[in-house]
Structure 1
Amino acid sequence: MAAGGAGPAQHQAPNGASVSISNGGGAAAATPPQGSAASTANGAAADGYDSDGYSFAPPTPSTLSMSIPPELAGAIPLIDRFQVEGFLKAMQKQIHSAGKRGFFSKKSVGPQTREKFTLEDMLCFQKDSIPTSLLKISNDLVSRSIKLFHVILKYMGIDSPAIISLEERIEFVEKLYKHTLKRSELRDELFAQISKQTRNNPDRGWSIRAWELMYLCASSMPPSKDIGAYLSEYIHFVAHGATTDADVRVLALNTLNALKRSVKAGPRITIPAWEEIEALLTSRKLTTIVFFLDETFEEITYDMATTVADAVEELAGIIKLSVYSSFSLFECRKVVNGSKSSEIGNEEYIGLDDNKYIGDLLSEFKSAKDRNKGEILHCKLVFKKRLFRESDEAVTDPMFVQLSYVQLQHDYILGNYPVGRDDASQLSALQILVEIGFIDNPESCVEWISLLERFLPRQVAITRAKRDWELDIISRFQLMEHLSKDDARQQFLRILRTLPYGNSVFFSVRKIDDPIGLLPGKIILGINKRGVHFFRPVPKEYLHSAELRDIMQFGSSNTAVFFKMRVAGVLHIFQFETKQGEEICVALQTHINDVMLRRYSKARSGNSVTSQNDVNQAYKPPNIEMFEKRVQELTKTAEDSQKKADQNCHLHCSHVSAATGHL
């Protein structure tokens, strides 16, 4: 190996040891005082090995901290994770067997120079294969780590007679993902190896390839927390280095951003598809479609690192939605069986975690379709609200109102909002007005009959003759002459909002445990600011409600959700089978937090008014100070919980909701 390095300069260590530090890629050695324990720690020199005028003696962490160059400072806390001595011994054997004279990535400053092998040396570019892993890993993974380095060398084009094609590079990346994606130990080893190949690399082309590979790996499979911290510090140092090559700087900055995102999101579930890797290598974006509940859609871009949160942000920008914290992407699955293909309501909506990768979702869609033999499974991404909150009523963003209307309309037409005939007629007339505007003679409109059928829930429609519905809706429509489409939309929202179960989000579940025999086997749960509401799915029928203050405890697992709640003053535990338990708990916790914040804000403002009126009060009584302190503590607790809820935090353990005691 070859790299530039100035001669050693002498520095005095705090313990009196003479520390040799070379600039650039040079190694550093510390000579501890006689009798020092450091003289034998990790020391290969004790084996009496001397080759080509070099004395290899890895320094102890105390000397490393002073000999390591700035870009490797982040590795100091990880000294125990690197096997410097083991790597040295294995390298010595490899050198002897190959008849070579050395492997340092630096130039000798003379035949008399004696340097010691350090972590810095081990993390320098190496043209030859490595004999063992850089990190201390399981013995059964060492041979795999050596193969990883072979792939890295091939990707960089070292000793290759021809230029590596784009297709070959993609194959190499796929191979690295295949062997490390599911193994955190090997992921750490891979990043240590790639970072090694970026340091003191004598060839600009090889260096760029190494950084390119680091970027590709960091985009979708992060290292562990400690290795990630070291890498971030190292990459930041290179990206902002005054002498860093311009192309390397761009790749380092891209890698740093990719690493920050992937550390937050975690590793991909599936190996990135060929086209995803190709897109990142060629600096282009792939596209996919996201639907809305009215079957309109928008096209968004993605690459192998794009998450649901990224997609939501991009989509909000495209449709000019300024307030989108309560919106997310959902996976919609719909089984199509012959004549049932046009039926509404047999689709399932599954909320997606913000950190889920779009590439993983699309891969899962394809796998699900392949598994469902004998029936057609439609899978698509849908953009809608996770839940409706009381604060929504103050939002005036036109797109926010429109999307809220579309979602409530969708749920209403599905039959999720059982209403009487009068309300059904009024709601139908309002929807028709939103659709076509006001016209004097609606029956002359060619779409009139189809609009009547479209905007009247099927279960409600069968309760009276079609002509009776038509006459009732026409009479109501004709009274709306002075309403604009926006007015009609707002009236529709207000009517549904006033229902006890209005502005709910709905979940289909199966009963596991019902101690009082109140519920059927299949149930639809509706959750809103008032509590939990239970419906019979077929025929759609409202059964029971539990107010927030009556829900004493709730929790979820991967397959179930439970509520400990009061029914007629008696506590009972109800349990339901569902894969959406976490979403249910998040929705409940969010509404509880909203109530708490509203109550405590009101209490705090009331206390403030009292203080202002009593201008002559010289001090606050201790009980007032204690009250304010308690309010602040509860507010902070509620706000922290709210942040977790908004981020779809994992609520797999039981939620002992002390908050409900204050409702």
Structure 2
Amino acid sequence: DSEATSLPSVTAYTSVSSDSHSYTMQEFALRYFRKPLTLSTANPLWPQAPIQESLISLKEDASRQAVAGFRVLMQFMGDQSKSWRKDELDLLYELLKLCQEEELRDEMYCQVIKQVTGHPRPERCARGWSLLSLFTGFFPPSTTLMPYVTKFLQDSSPSQELARSSQEHLQRTVKYGGRQQLPSPAEMQALLKGQAVRLLLIHMPGAMEYRTNIQTFTVVGEVLEELCGQMGITDPQEVQEFALFLIKGEGDLVRPLWPHEYLNSIMVDQDLSLHTRRLGWESPLHFEHPTYVSIHYSQVLRDYLQGKLMASAQADAQLAQLAALQHLSKASPSPPSEQDLLAYIPKPLQWQVDMATIKTLVGQELRQLQEYSPQKAQISFIEATRQLPLFGYTVYVVLRASKLVLPGPVFLGLNRWHLVLMDPSSQKLCCSITLKDLQRLHLLSPLEDGGPPGLELNYGSADSPQTMWLELPQAQELQHTIVFLLDGSMTSTQWPGN
């Protein structure tokens, strides 16, 4: 009997020739089929007759489903006439849904392999191969069948292009788990027409855009690796410090995407967009690539001008240096106007600083730094802002926190290790929580009509449990990002507000 399907390990995929088995599908048929059968045929009376019972020994109900599935398969391949009530799309959905059932998965794999083996009609055989290509991208066979399917694809690759794509899909499924959600009708129609490639637009800091082509089984991690390669990032550890964020509309939903998520299962609505930014800052920064410099500068500059890096209104020299570097990064031949100078100051500080003093100091800085190229100015800006309190954190504005009594909002800084709350006025640390101490997150409804939502944090040890609630507009985004940074170690049952 076929073993229950479970996600195979990578070794299950790569160990085809590790023991005495030859792992041919002929061998599998002799060992596991209900009746010993040969998969190849020289029978001139092709197509074969519909099966009367499942190939693999299954329970009675499952066997009936398998028999019906074989008829659908023959109709899809053109080996049997189809009902006028069903078109190709209906047949394809039926077959994918059957393969979605773990009990039937190995059976459906075997049925398709049986039908494409020795088929005398190339155009019909190609339809069977296209179906197998989809099976391998959506659902892995059992660990019992896996080495046989792998060997079959390897042996078929020299003469069958779809066998090569099926190999790639199966490798990706082993690595990422398979695409669990079936395609939308629109995507399925495109697949039937051979239009599997789709343009994807990613928004980057600094109003930059990155365009790439994705296919049916492209995952987030692959696109991030490609995007980072365009910035000269090759270290896998540094690639992991970037994330793609999914945004719905004007920010109704903001969440980081897991590397194993399939992009075509996510980008299903017109009002969804993808944005990227750096979340982790543990890897040493390197500035040999111009795109790398530009992206990092734009992200840091945005946080700085929004006041999220907590520069001080009393630090005139620092504010002037950072203003001068911003001006030099634009390669402007003219000195900065008063309007320029004001725009170079973080918004919360614009009415607190002495602009006359800033103007004088900026003039001095520009004379000292006049040889700086725009790229060198951007690098120097990043290095200078690294001294500010919340550099390297993703910063949220918390309107109220249950354990703090402060006259105004506080800043919440989040990185891979800590969640901190800081008073933007005094720059004092109010609270620090180690992320691994978080036990549960719970999204709260707004405390007042029209007010922002809240997020309850349960943290600490069993002997000393702690609870804090935060009120902020981006409560759900914060929740998603914390779980993402914890690498999923906090399960969905522990954060039911999601």
Q: Is the 8 A contact 1:322 1:397 kept in 2?
A: no
Which of 213, 219, 228 is residue 307 of structure 1 equivalent to?
219
1:84 aligns with 2:40: no
Please give the alpha-carbon distance, in whole angstroms, between the structure 2 residues aligned to 1:299 and 1:419. Answer: 35
Distance 1:173 1:482, change over 3 A: same
1:492 aligns with 2:385: no
Please give the alpha-carbon distance, in whole angstroms, between the structure 2 residues aligned to 1:542 and 1:137. Answer: 67
Please give the alpha-carbon distance, in whole angstroms, between the structure 1 residues aligned to 2:259 and 2:397. Answer: 22
1:294 aligns with 2:206: yes
CA-based RMSD of the aligned residues comes to 4.4
Distance 1:222 1:69, change over 3 A: closer
Aligned to 1:439: 333
Q: Is the 8 A contact 2:439 2:459 kept in 1?
A: no
Counterpart of 1:483, as a letter, is Y
Whose helix fraction is larger, Structure 1's or Structure 2's? 1
Give the C-alpha shift of residue 417 in structure 1: 0.8
Give the C-alpha shift of residue 159 in structure 1: 3.4
Give the C-alpha shift of residue 507 in structure 1: 6.1
For residues 534-564 of structure 1, the C-alpha deviation after alignment (integer angstroms, 9 at most, x for no partner) is: 2469x89654364xxx949535668586553
Please give the alpha-carbon distance, in whole angstroms, between the structure 2 residues aligned to 1:237 and 1:353. Answer: 34
1:424 aligns with 2:326: no
Distance 1:388 1:212, change over 3 A: same
Give the C-alpha shift of residue 276 in structure 1: 4.0
1:75 aligns with 2:28: yes
Aligned to 1:383: 276
Please give the alpha-carbon distance, in whole angstroms, between the structure 2 residues aligned to 1:394 and 1:73. Answer: 55
1:176 aligns with 2:87: no
1:330 aligns with 2:244: yes
Q: Is the 8 A contact 2:139 2:180 kept in 1?
A: no
Give the C-alpha shift of residue 287 in structure 1: 0.5
Give the C-alpha shift of residue 202 in structure 1: 4.2
Give the C-alpha shift of residue 479 in structure 1: 4.6
Distance 1:189 1:652, change over 3 A: farther
Q: Is the 8 A contact 2:23 2:148 kept in 1?
A: no
Give the C-alpha shift of residue 408 in structure 1: 1.6
Please give the alpha-carbon distance, in whole angstroms, between the structure 2 residues aligned to 1:385 and 1:208. Answer: 43
Please give the alpha-carbon distance, in whole angstroms, between the structure 1 residues aligned to 2:122 and 2:133. Answer: 17
Which of 172, 179, 182 is residue 271 of structure 1 equivalent to?
182
Tell me the matched-pair count: 443
Aligned to 1:24: none
Counterpart of 2:391, as a letter, is G
Distance 1:224 1:460, change over 3 A: farther
Please give the alpha-carbon distance, in whole angstroms, between the structure 2 residues aligned to 1:265 and 1:70. Answer: 24
1:262 aligns with 2:212: no
Q: Which runs of 5+ in 2 are unaligned?
A: 2-18, 443-455, 470-474, 493-498
Deviates more, 1:204-213 or 1:379-388: 204-213
Give the C-alpha shift of residue 291 in structure 1: 0.8
Distance 1:291 1:300, change over 3 A: same
For residues 256-281 of structure 1, the C-alpha deviation after alignment (integer angstroms, 9 at most, x for no partner) is: 11111122222324322455443585
Q: Is the 8 A contact 2:309 2:389 kept in 1?
A: no
Please give the alpha-carbon distance, in whole angstroms, between the structure 2 residues aligned to 1:73 and 1:561. Answer: 57
Please give the alpha-carbon distance, in whole angstroms, between the structure 1 residues aligned to 2:142 and 2:398. Answer: 37
Give the C-alpha shift of residue 401 in structure 1: 3.0
Give the C-alpha shift of residue 461 in structure 1: 1.9
Counterpart of 1:407, as a letter, is Q
Please give the alpha-carbon distance, in whole angstroms, between the structure 1 residues aligned to 2:345 and 2:312. Answer: 12
Which of 556, 564, 578 is residue 460 of structure 2 equivalent to?
564
1:554 aligns with 2:437: yes
Identity of aligned residues (%): 19
Partner of 2:486, secondary structure, is helix
Structure number with higher relative contact order (C-alpha < 8 Å, ≥ 6 residues apart): 2
Which of 190, 199, 220 is residue 117 of structure 2 equivalent to?
199
Partner of 1:381, secondary structure, is strand
1:414 aligns with 2:306: yes
Partner of 1:580, secondary structure, is helix
Q: Is the 8 A contact 2:75 2:81 kept in 1?
A: yes
Counterpart of 1:396, as a letter, is E
Q: Is the 8 A contact 1:215 1:252 kept in 2?
A: yes
Q: Is the 8 A contact 2:112 2:132 kept in 1?
A: yes
Please give the alpha-carbon distance, in whole angstroms, between the structure 1 residues aligned to 2:58 and 2:109. Answer: 14
Aligned to 2:135: 217
Please give the alpha-carbon distance, in whole angstroms, between the structure 2 residues aligned to 1:137 and 1:431. Answer: 70
Give the C-alpha shift of residue 193 in structure 1: 1.8
Please give the alpha-carbon distance, in whole angstroms, between the structure 2 residues aligned to 1:579 and 1:309. Answer: 18
Distance 1:221 1:463, change over 3 A: farther
Q: Is the 8 A contact 2:397 2:412 kept in 1?
A: yes
How do residues 445-460 of structure 1 correspond to structure 2 at under 5 angstroms? 449=339, 451-452=340-341, 454-460=343-349
Please give the alpha-carbon distance, in whole angstroms, between the structure 2 residues aligned to 1:431 and 1:542. Answer: 27
Q: Is the 8 A contact 2:40 2:114 kept in 1?
A: no
Partner of 2:212, secondary structure, is strand
Aligned to 2:68: 147
Aligned to 1:116: none
Aligned to 2:483: 582
Please give the alpha-carbon distance, in whole angstroms, between the structure 2 residues aligned to 1:267 and 1:493. Answer: 40
Aligned to 1:11: none
Please give the alpha-carbon distance, in whole angstroms, between the structure 1 residues aligned to 2:70 and 2:342. Answer: 65
Which of 149, 152, 157 is residue 78 of structure 2 equivalent to?
157
Aligned to 2:472: none
Distance 1:441 1:235, change over 3 A: closer
Give the C-alpha shift of residue 424 in structure 1: 3.4
Partner of 1:401, secondary structure, is helix
Q: Which runs of 5+ in 1 are unaligned?
A: 1-40, 42-64, 89-102, 109-124, 241-245, 337-345, 370-378, 587-649, 655-663
Distance 1:161 1:222, change over 3 A: closer
Q: Is the 8 A contact 1:440 1:478 kept in 2?
A: no
1:544 aligns with 2:430: yes
For residues 430-476 of structure 1, the C-alpha deviation after alignment (integer angstroms, 9 at most, x for no partner) is: 22221x22535332xxxx72x44544332222434777766665564
Partner of 1:191, secondary structure, is helix
Aligned to 1:30: none
Aligned to 2:420: 533
Distance 1:219 1:653, change over 3 A: closer
Please give the alpha-carbon distance, in whole angstroms, between the structure 2 residues aligned to 1:558 and 1:139. Answer: 46
Give the C-alpha shift of residue 359 in structure 1: 0.5
For residues 82-129 of structure 1, the C-alpha deviation after alignment (integer angstroms, 9 at most, x for no partner) is: 5616x99xxxxxxxxxxxxxx997579xxxxxxxxxxxxxxxx97333
Distance 1:452 1:190, change over 3 A: farther
Partner of 1:298, secondary structure, is strand
Please give the alpha-carbon distance, in whole angstroms, between the structure 2 residues aligned to 1:572 and 1:136. Answer: 53
Please give the alpha-carbon distance, in whole angstroms, between the structure 2 residues aligned to 1:303 and 1:188. Answer: 25
Distance 1:555 1:529, change over 3 A: closer
Aligned to 1:358: 263
Q: Is the 8 A contact 2:307 2:347 kept in 1?
A: yes
Counterpart of 1:585, as a letter, is L
Please give the alpha-carbon distance, in whole angstroms, between the structure 2 residues aligned to 1:150 and 1:540. Answer: 74
Q: Compute the TM-score of the two structures, normalised by the length of structure 2.
A: 0.73
How do residues 40-55 of structure 1 correspond to structure 2 at under 5 angstroms? none
Give the C-alpha shift of residue 307 in structure 1: 0.8
Counterpart of 1:380, as a letter, is S
Distance 1:553 1:317, change over 3 A: closer
Please give the alpha-carbon distance, in whole angstroms, between the structure 1 residues aligned to 2:405 and 2:74. Answer: 64
Please give the alpha-carbon distance, in whole angstroms, between the structure 1 residues aligned to 2:285 and 2:480. Answer: 30
Give the C-alpha shift of residue 204 in structure 1: 3.7
Q: Is the 8 A contact 1:289 1:298 kept in 2?
A: yes
Please give the alpha-carbon distance, in whole angstroms, between the structure 1 residues aligned to 2:91 and 2:125. Answer: 17
How do residues 620-639 of structure 1 correspond to structure 2 at under 5 angstroms? none
Counterpart of 2:117, as a letter, is R
For residues 184-204 of structure 1, the C-alpha deviation after alignment (integer angstroms, 9 at most, x for no partner) is: 334333222212222343444
Q: Is the 8 A contact 1:287 1:300 kept in 2?
A: yes
Aligned to 2:5: none
